[in-house]
Structure 1
Amino acid sequence: MTRSIPSALCAFAFLGLAVSACSPTVATRGNMADPDRIAEIKAGQSRREDVADILGTPTSVGTFDQNVWYYIGQKTEKVAFFQPSVMERRVVVVHFDDAGVVREMKQLDASDGQQVEMVDRSTPTAGRELSFLEQMLGNVGRFSAKDARGRGPGR
């Protein structure tokens, strides 16, 4: 009977570890702008400085138009070793006029995005591929006695 108590405790401890390992991990990345804070920004009234004070530094600024600011954030959930799933994604796009006043503001979510399929091809390069052994032994015999004596530049 005394042997069954430690084995039962070990089984419960293992079961507790297994259950806790399956609890999801939630991660927030980027700038998940609060809707109440976004409502403070008014088109035609708010300036660049106001937007920066309310939402913070933009995640990105338009590449071809410096008058467009992007605030990008997403919340993901990951269980154990599985790929994370996106729970929420929010993008706030703020357009300014040349005077720095908010002209337009749009909010986008995950439904506005597009899935991009990655290409698994690789670009061929000139030459040939070396095996691990060829890479390790490739320099054997390539050094001269002059190099072994430590003659450096200027000697």
Structure 2
Amino acid sequence: MLGKGWNTRLLAASALGALTLMAGGCASIKDHRGYLIDPALTGSVQPGIDNRTSVERALGQPTFKSEFGKQIWYYVSIDTKQRPFKRPQAKTQNVLMVSFDEKGNVASVDRRGMEKVVSLNPDGHKTPTLGRNRSFFEDLFGNIGSVGAIPGQGGVGGGPQGSGPNGS
């Protein structure tokens, strides 16, 4: 036979186990997206010395390239953190921009961080538009009778007979 103390210890152990499981579900999730920046490699790219081939060999393919104007390669790295039941938020962001001249040589190397990130908070209530404000039902039923109406026959969209473009 087991004593009363054993029941209390079993209850305390099961409560501690349940608490541990619940706390594990509340942990934040950390994630890395994009290019893995190696300071030794990114520091080795020198303007006037390197070209497209040497940059690609040292750093690999860029995250994306500029399509128009001056040729710039972008290496983007973002670290995010997501709390339970929330959207992921960027904690750190690094962008390495390598620009090239017309001959394909490195013209400049620029590094940017979170100071250039813009936070947008759009207004989710209503998007302003030009034109009339119509209700859902006006949009749904507003064209009934006007589509397919024959001009000159009266009815919706038609005028009195004889006012058509041919004047009959």
TM-score w.r.t. length of structure 1: 0.70
Larger radius of gyration: 2
Residue segments in structure 2 that go unaligned for 5+ positions in a row? 142-168
**What corresponds to 1:22 in structure 2?**
26
1:128 equivalent in alignment to 2:140 = yes
The Cα of 1:108 is off from its aligned counterpart by 0.5
Aligned to 1:80, the other structure's residue is in SS state coil
Question: Would the aligned equivalents of 2:70 and 2:99 in 1 still touch at CA under 8 Å?
Answer: no
Aligned pairs, number: 129
Number of the residue aligned with 2:157: none
Structure 1: segments with no counterpart, 5+ residues? 130-155
- Cα displacement string for residues 45-86 of structure 1 (whole angstroms, at most 9, x for unaligned residues): 111111112221111111313611111111011222233332
Q: What are the Cα deviations for residues 97-140 of structure 1, in whole angstroms up to 9, with x where unaligned?
A: 111110011101001222233353468999529xxxxxxxxxxx
Provide the C-alpha distance between the structure 2 equivalents of 1:86 and 1:117, rounded to a whole number of angstroms.
Answer: 15
Pairing partner for 1:78 from 75, 78, 82: 82
Greater relative contact order (CA < 8 Å, ≥ 6 in sequence): 1
2:55 to 34, 51, 56: 51
- Normalised TM-score (structure 2): 0.66
1:68 aligned to 72, 85, 90, which one? 72
CA contact (8 A) 1:43 1:105 kept: yes
RMSD over aligned CA atoms reads 2.6
1:42 matched residue in structure 2: 46
Q: Which amino acid aligns with 1:99?
A: K
Match of 1:141 in 2: none
Stretches of 4+ aligned residues off by more than 4 angstroms = 121-127
User: 2:47 is aligned with what amino acid?
Assistant: A
